[in-house]
Amino acid sequence: MLASKPGLLDEVRSRFAHVDSCPFEGERVFFENAGGALTLKSVVDSSARFAAIPDNQGRDNPASKALQAIIDRAKEDMRVFFNAPGGTFFVGESGTELLFRLISAACLGTPAGRVLGSTLEHPASRSAAARWAEVAGKPHVLVAHDDATGSIDPAHYAPQITPDTRVATIIHTSPVTGMGTDVAAVAAAIRGVAPECFIIVDGIQHAAHGRLDLAGYGVDGYVVSPYKMFSRHGYGVAWVSDRLAALPHDHLANAPGEPWELGTRDTGAYATFSDVVAYFEWLGAQVTEATDRRARIVAAGEAIHAHEAALTQAMIHGVGNLPGLADLPGVSILNGADNARREGLVALTVEGMPAPDVVAKLRERGIRTHTRKADHYSGNILRPLGLSSCVRVSMCHYNTEAEVARFITAMREIADGA
Ligand SMILES: Cc1ncc(COP(=O)(O)O)c(C=O)c1O
């Protein structure tokens, strides 16, 4: 746990903007990381620096060459960070936009056959697959996820994997349940029956929790939203395998290399992703003796996971003498209190109190959380559980046990008054 090394958590927190106060609301605990994580101060600096530079890539002047070198370096950083075997990284408008682009290219660029996904997915990939499967004249088959675990396994996909499954989508971590999927195992099950299938993964909720390893997944596309992983809003990052990159896709006619980027690139976006990678390397260096970049990133991911697991354990089972959520009368935890798939997120309900009221009461006590409603974003998860809403409490590795203690103290008051 990061907290066991003296001073480390303070050093971690000092690297982020607005760690304990909001410029609009004042002092608060930030447990709304699944809606957008805290931003690294280095990202804030890089954003301002690059926003002021008027130059563009591809010109014969030093500024242009410097910008190109920064983009090239960022792509190298992405390769190490994601452990990517070949393929191409590029930025787009958002995670959603990139999922639409990858999925449309895969649906349109493959022979007749099925498009396979699951009910666990965020509407970004579900909507893209539904739309582009229809345009391509392919059936879109959605397998049901497991309500008990709030996740999905190869066994759930298996009955619907056919040799003509051309495109498959997988969500790495649900932003509603907070539970992770074993992407490598699902991809292997798909490849076992449909080896040529284009497998596209929504990694948007997973990325902040570290432990990314494209070489181990055996997939063709992976998309993240950098504002959910300590960078900023305004861009998404995608990786496509060489075979997905080679499918017909939108690009300027006759453009050398048939790029996936559309239009002038924002060097600042790339630079801020390098800041994120540098942060992971720094964090890794605090918890391992290894000097290799990838080894440090892996170590950072393990430390992040262990710290978040300790925080969710404390939230559910208590801190010191304070009882945890599992022991508060009327409080229910979605998808099981002790679920090993959990990635920093606890979704809950309070009997007799609508989720928006719980969120408001937490806000009055200086704790920011969020309501998930059974709408087009979260209805796929909540409706089968018979819920119209839930409270989402989402943490990252910079959160502390003291913040958790404050939260469960507030929850006890709220549950007592329910
Ligand atoms: C798993 C998942 N996929 C897709 C999205 C959409 O991402 P964006 O709004 O950054 O495009 C989100 C956002 O919450 C998400 O959590």
- Digit-coded pLDDT (tens) for 185-224: 999 999 999 999 999 999 999 999 999 999 999 999 999 9
User: What's the whole-model pTM score?
Assistant: 0.97
Name which of 224, 238, 251, 120 is nearest 179 in CA terms.
120
Same domain, 219 and 240: yes
Same domain, 253 and 379: no
How far apart are alpha carbons 322 and 411 in whole angstroms? 11
Closest ligand 1 atom to 35 CA: 14
Domain span holding position 360:
2-38+302-415
In a domain, 291, yes or no: no
Count Cβ atoms within 10 A of the Cβ of residue 165 and give its class: 0-12 exposed, 13-18 middle, 19 or more buried: buried
Whether 36 and 22 have beta carbons less than 8 Å apart is answered as no
Same domain, 52 and 153: yes
* 3-state SS track over the chain: CHHHCCCHHHHHHHCECCCCEECCCEECEECEHHHCCCCEHHHHHHHHHHHCCCCCCCCCCHHHHHHHHHHHHHHHHHHHHHCCCCCEEEEECCHHHHHHHHHHHHHHCCCCCEEEEECCCCHHHHHHHHHHHHHHCCCEEEECCECCCCECCHHHHHHHCCCCEEEEEEECECCCCCEECCHHHHHHHHHHHCCCCEEEEECCCCHHHCCCCHHHHCCCEEEECHHHCCCCCCCEEEEECHHHHCCCCCCCCCCCCCCCCCCCCCHHHHHHHHHHHHHHHHHHHHHCCCCCHHHHHHHHHHHHHHHHHHHHHHHHHCECCECCHHHCCCEEECCCCCCCCECCEEEEEECCECHHHHHHHHHHCCEECEEEECCCCCHHHHHHHCCCEEEEEECCCCCCHHHHHHHHHHHHHHHHCC
List residues near ligand 1 (CB under 6 A): 94-96, 122, 124, 171, 175, 202, 204-205, 225
pLDDT of residue 1: 62
Rounded distance from Cα 126 to ligand 1 centre (Å): 12
In a domain, 355, yes or no: yes
In a domain, 84, yes or no: yes
Same domain, 200 and 236: yes
Q: Domain count of the chain? A: 2
Q: What is the CATH number of the domain that holds 229?
A: 3.40.640.10
Rounded distance from Cα 170 to ligand 1 centre (Å): 13
Same domain, 74 and 10: no
Q: What is the pLDDT along the chain (418 residues), one digit of tens a residue?
A: 698 899 999 999 999 999 999 999 999 999 999 999 999 999 999 999 999 999 999 999 999 999 999 999 999 999 999 999 899 999 999 999 999 999 999 999 999 999 999 999 999 999 999 999 999 999 999 999 999 999 999 999 999 999 999 999 999 999 999 999 999 999 999 999 999 999 999 999 999 999 999 999 999 999 999 999 999 999 999 999 999 999 999 999 999 999 999 999 999 999 999 999 999 999 999 999 999 999 999 999 999 999 999 999 999 999 999 999 999 999 999 999 999 999 999 999 999 999 999 999 999 999 999 999 999 999 999 999 999 999 999 999 999 999 999 999 999 999 998 6
Closest ligand 1 atom to 236 CA: 10
Rounded distance from Cα 66 to ligand 1 centre (Å): 32
Instruction: Pick from 225, 345, 377, 380 the residue to mutate for probing ligand 1's pocket: most ligand atoms within 8 Å of its CB.
Output: 225
Identify the residue whose C-alpha is closest to ligand 1 atom 12: 204
Same domain, 134 and 268: yes
Q: What is the CATH number of the domain that holds 393?
A: 3.90.1150.10
Rounded distance from Cα 122 to ligand 1 centre (Å): 7
Rounded distance from Cα 144 to ligand 1 centre (Å): 20
Mean pLDDT of the chain: 97
Rounded distance from Cα 180 to ligand 1 centre (Å): 15
Same domain, 256 and 316: no
In a domain, 261, yes or no: yes
Same domain, 403 and 322: yes
In a domain, 401, yes or no: yes
Same domain, 142 and 217: yes
Rounded distance from Cα 58 to ligand 1 centre (Å): 32
Instruction: Pick from 204, 343, 373 the residue to mutate for probing ligand 1's pocket: most ligand atoms within 8 Å of its CB.
Output: 204
Last residue of a domain, one of 245, 278, 311: 278
Instruction: Pick from 172, 201, 205 the residue to mutate for probing ligand 1's pocket: most ligand atoms within 8 Å of its CB.
Output: 205
In a domain, 294, yes or no: no
In a domain, 289, yes or no: no
How far apart are alpha carbons 42 and 20 in whole angstroms? 17
pLDDT of residue 418: 63
Same domain, 149 and 222: yes
Same domain, 199 and 307: no
Same domain, 17 and 49: no
In a domain, 295, yes or no: no
